[in-house]
Structure 1
Amino acid sequence: MNIFRTLFASGALIAAMVTGYAAAGQGNGLTALAGIERGEWTLRAPDGSTRAICVTDPQMLLTLEHRGASCTRFVVENGANGGRITYDCPGIGKGDTRITVETPRLIRLETQGISRGLPFTYEYEGRRTGSCTR
């Protein structure tokens, strides 16, 4: 009788793990990005260089190198304060992005991958700096 309980418990655990893994991959974005403010953002790299972007949809930050491309995404981690995705843009490249939302106006972003056959890697601190002017 104990062997059946053990087998049942093991099967239930495996089913829960598989279901959790499948759920992690569903969806197209990260929950934490819903909390960041839209507008003009300045992304600052560790070397001090900056890049300004207009964020109308925070999910665009997930595929920063491939903005505007048609990409499929797989959510690897999805938490209240950030997460990680991998993505594939057929014919253009692929990448892996991790975002941490510190406040609605401050994020940390790390992304790396391949774009048009060349590797890329970026690390940014992003701050909302105002309204979009473009």
Structure 2
Amino acid sequence: MAVIVSRRTKLQHWRAPLLVAALVPVAVPAFGQGPELRMLDQLEGGAWELRERGDGGVVQHLCLDNGRKLIQLRHPGAPCSSVVVDDKADEVTVQYTCRGRGYGRTRIRRESNGLVQIDSQGIVNGLPFSFSAEGRKVGTCGK
């Protein structure tokens, strides 16, 4: 009789993981989201002006063909790995690391597809940075 109980117990333990494994692929797509950082892809391309808040009020001009470029303003073009911390319809937060060059954490809030608020901080070339800026589309890019 001990042999029968043992076989039944082994069989029951074997079925439970299969049942769970069979249900997981069905459940995941039902709770899935759309592509990450979709809000940044909706920003208008063209000439943008970034006006930093604070004492200096530094103004930076850039030709924006992709809103994702706003994430790494202090590490432009650097190959960095990133983690999406928060991804909402009108606000994203991304933390990124550029090996040997530093890292940053950027929060971008969209007011419209041509107006955003940016807060970023981190380390670039061994020195800390922190800034808040308003980004506004001001026209088309010149050639």
Paired-residue identity, %: 36
Corresponding residue of 2:81 = 72
Task: Say whether residues 1:43 and 2:50 are aligned partners.
Answer: yes
What letter is aligned with 1:97? T
CA deviations 1:20-42 (Å, max 9, x no partner) are xxx89xx7x62211111001100
Structure 1 stretch displaced more, 50-59 or 103-112: 50-59
Partners of 1:37 and 1:88 in 2: CA distance = 26
Residue 102 (structure 2) aligned to one of 93, 99, 109: 93
Is the Cα–Cα contact under 8 Å of residues 108 and 118 in structure 2 kept in the other structure? yes
From the CA coordinates, give the structure whose radius of gyration is larger.
Answer: 2
Corresponding residue of 2:137 = 128
What letter is aligned with 2:51? R
Q: Secondary structure at the match of 1:33?
A: helix
Corresponding residue of 1:116 = 125
TM-score, length-scaled by structure 2: 0.72
RMSD between superposed Cα atoms in Å = 1.8
How far residue 92 of structure 1 moved from its aligned partner, in angstroms, is: 0.5
What letter is aligned with 2:37? L
Q: Secondary structure at the match of 1:36?
A: coil
Corresponding residue of 2:40 = 33
Corresponding residue of 1:106 = 115
Structure 1 stretch displaced more, 109-118 or 29-38: 29-38
Is the Cα–Cα contact under 8 Å of residues 53 and 131 in structure 2 kept in the other structure? no
Is the Cα–Cα contact under 8 Å of residues 31 and 82 in structure 1 kept in the other structure? no
For structure 2, which runs of at least 5 residues remain unmatched after alignment?
1-27
TM-score, length-scaled by structure 1: 0.76
Residue 72 (structure 2) aligned to one of 38, 51, 63: 63
Partners of 1:46 and 1:99 in 2: CA distance = 15
How far residue 58 of structure 1 moved from its aligned partner, in angstroms, is: 1.0
